[in-house]
Structure 1
């Protein structure tokens, strides 16, 4: 069974393409700070290790794997209030 983990921060590179900007996701789980590369986060979802979510402006959104131009990336499920929950998160330390 997948472990439910909140993503509360990200690291971005300097690319302008939103689908290639996130390099790491992270947060605090069980009182410990954690951080994964984007590829490790994608693998964790695909193999059922993790069920990531965000909590932004009072809304919980599931994080899913999407593909654009043959490249996998993470995004939140459709949300009418905040179109890009992950990119709006603060930078991870």
Structure 2
């Protein structure tokens, strides 16, 4: 199992980034969560099989079609056994 925290900057709020991220994560069988941050960025945690987590990181670099990702920061973390994927408020 791998776990990665990502912070995505750019035009990523108000473009269905969180909902699309949740759908992509569920399709990849990745656990975790996604949320908007006060500074306009989006933060997410992806946890699961290495190839599935890599696929989510690749997706996060672009997001949904209406997003414009400028930068992504990655932080590897110890897995916590997350199941399911939620949108945090």
Please tell me whether Structure 1 or Structure 2 has the larger radius of gyration of its CA atoms: 1
Q: TM-score, normalised by structure 2?
A: 0.30
Q: Which has the higher helix share?
A: 2
Higher RCO (CA-CA < 8 Å; seq separation 6+): 2
Query: What is the TM-score with the length of structure 1 in the denominator?
Result: 0.29
